[in-house]
Structure 1
Amino acid sequence: MPDLNLLITLDVLLTEGSVARAAQRLRLSPSAMSRALARLRETTGDPLLVRAGRGLVPTPRALALREQVSRLVQEAQAVLRPAQSLDLGQVTRTFTLRASEEFVENLGPALLARIAQDAPFVRLRFVNKTDNDYALLREGRVDLAIGVVDPGASPEVLTQALFRDRLVGVVRSGHPLSQGEVSAARFAQGQHVYVSRRGLQRGQVDDALQAQGFARDISTIVAGFATAIALARDTDLIASVPERYTAHQREGLYSFALPVAIPTFTVAMLWHPRLDADLAHRWLRGCLREVCGQ
């Protein structure tokens, strides 16, 4: 009968793609991990990971197994985890959260403090937003995603609203727009930095300005709000950024309500139904709701 512990080893090896990193994660020596890989190769009849340059790449069989192995390991862990009660003080677990750097910087400190109250051995691992968040949730590589819900979100993913936010304008202290009323005409006359993770050339603000007969000059496009604010701090560029998401980054700058009607938006958390009844995950979702509701 095959050793089922090898499933855990295989899951970590396929996730890390490195014998050294997998050994570190499982707290094994590199030689012990190499022996485990040799046993896995013998058991499956496939090399699984083969050398390419300085690293290792998975074989087609390994790629085919990856999602199935991950699911089996998670289901096994769920079977062995207490279902009715949870001693948070003894929970040793790392949760992976997909969130923007702005979210981590502005709400991370309060979330970490809240978690430390109940569960000192719980660790959070934050990763940046990617284009395949729903696949990451399904595969179990991300436990919780935080962001604006995409209308095309996978129907299998569960969502819950955390807070509403709106776009505001921000300029350096002493910028012409920091004095007097900011009209649509004055706003459009300046030079703007536009935030687009997907490389778009225009957005809702431009549509709203066009409806009033104005067009703004976008001289710079960046991938993140923190970068846009940093540019606005040291130039005459005007940035349009989420108000609550960027509270810390905007300190010392002049913020103002946009002179065009832009709908507010909801920031939510998303997770896979597989984790919905997991007590520790349920507790983590409660911590997020609490922190974001303050």
Structure 2
Amino acid sequence: MNIARVDLNLMVYLDVLLRERNVTRAAEQLGITQPAMSNGLRRLRELFNDPLLIRTSEGMTPTERALELQPLIREALLAMEKTIQPKEKFDPEISQRVFRIMASDYAESTLIPLVLKQVRSLAPSVTLDVLTPSDVSFHDVEQGWVDMAINRFDSLPQSFYQSRIWQDDFSCVVSRENPILNNFTLDSYLQSQHIWASKTGMGVGVGVNPEDVQRLGWVDEALAAVGKKRKISVFTRHYQVAMLLSAQNDLIATLPSRLADIERFSTKLAVVRPPFDIPSFDLSMAWSPLLHHDSAHQWLRQIIKSVAEE
């Protein structure tokens, strides 16, 4: 087949169809009508002599041929995106670009203020739009609609680039009026009431089951490893809220140390080491291959790396 006779827009259609597996959603993604997308699917089936997507009880299911084509089409489109990227070098002094960054509550409290200070100094007209994990999906990042995701990731799509920002451990934040400070041991820690703050992932969160230790995170898994369990009085999805609640003189918040250090010189709160070992964790940034070679994006990544090193 002569490629000159092939409508290459059909490859874009196929990429979106295989990702969405729904004609209506694929049409919405490309800003075309559903009949136009249905016609595109018909032409693709004729081109490849294969049904590509078959309607089943579980929705539109890709054929074996479609699954073979999907990574090849994605790679070809990424190469084309790279080819057509403008070559003009990013000039931070005059740029008015808006960078959209998904950041966890932890990253927003510890990293983003330092990044913003540096950005405002070097690029006074650049804007940061900071989104929460529940605002964003991996699909948004993959498509480049969100410049970057900053969080602690258990897993990422294979196509993503990622880089570690820093490593952190844990500290306990308690009221200076909490009598536990006179004898801060594992036993007194376990006898106290605790505030749980979530490790927020991508997508909309759900309620917590206090009995499901495997889903409660590093602190509770570390306790379970030594056969112990803490008493949790309140669950929150915001670390800053956890620190505010820890001002009550009978509650303990066990939080990442860089966050706890914000209260290091507080007259109301004390920051102490946990009376047991908790594994450290990495804060990382992840971004789409569509933006990897973008000069403005490279500039932002360098800003984040330099701030983290300092």
Normalised by the length of structure 1, the TM-score is: 0.70
Deviation at 1:175, TM superposition (A): 0.8
Equivalent residue, structure 1, for 2:279 = 263
Deviation at 1:90, TM superposition (A): 2.1
Asked if 1:128 is matched to 2:149, the reply is no
* Structure 2 counterpart of 1:258, one-letter code: P
Report the identity percentage. Answer: 28
Q: Quick one: which of 139, 142, 149 aligns to 1:138?
A: 142
Shift of 1:275: 0.5
Which residue is equivalent to 1:55? none
* 1:198-257 deviation line (CA, Å, top 9, x unaligned): 524243333333443433211211112111111111341111111113432565211111
Asked if 2 retains the 8 angstrom alpha-carbon contact of 1:229 and 1:250, the reply is no
Deviations 1:4-48 (A, max 9, x none): xxxxxxxxxxxxxxxxxxxxxxxxxxxxxxxxxxxxxxxxxxxxx
**Residue 161 of structure 1: which of 158, 164, 171 is its match?**
164
Q: 2:152 aligns with which of 117, 142, 148?
A: 148
Paired with 2:136 and 2:258, the residues of 1 have a C-alpha distance of 25
Does residue 214 of structure 1 match 2:217? no
RMSD: 2.8
Q: Is the 8 A contact 1:67 1:139 kept in 2?
A: no
Matched, 1:240 2:243: no
Q: Residue 300 of structure 2 aligns with which residue?
A: 284
Offset of 1:61 from its aligned partner? 7.3
Unaligned runs of 5+ in 2: 1-21, 33-73, 201-205
Give 1:293 deviation, angstroms: 1.6
Aligned to 1:230: 244
Distance in 1, Cα, partners of 2:112 & 2:265: 17
**Preserved contact between residue 106 and residue 246 of structure 1 (Cα < 8 Å):** no
Instruction: Tell me which residue corresponds to 1:24.
Output: none
Between the aligned partners of 2:135 and 2:93, the Cα distance in structure 1 is: 35
Q: Deviations over 1:151-198 (max 9, x none)?
A: x31111111000001121111112122224x22111111011112355
Map 1:66-105 → 2, pairs under 5 A: 66-68=28-30, 79=84, 81-83=86-88, 85-105=89-109
State whether structure 2 residue 123 is matched by structure 1 residue 109.
no
Instruction: State the aligned residue count.
Output: 230
Classify the secondary structure of the residue corresponding to 1:136.
Answer: helix
Deviation at 1:258, TM superposition (A): 1.3
Change in 2 beyond 3 A, CA 1:205/1:116 = closer
3-state SS of 1:87 partner: coil
Taking structure 1 as reference, are residues 207 and 144 closer, same or farther at Cα in structure 2, changes over 3 Å only? closer
Residue of structure 2 in register with 1:65 after alignment: 27
Mapped to 2, the partners of 1:78 and 1:115 lie a distance apart of 28
Stretches of structure 1 lacking an aligned partner (at least 5 in a row): 1-59
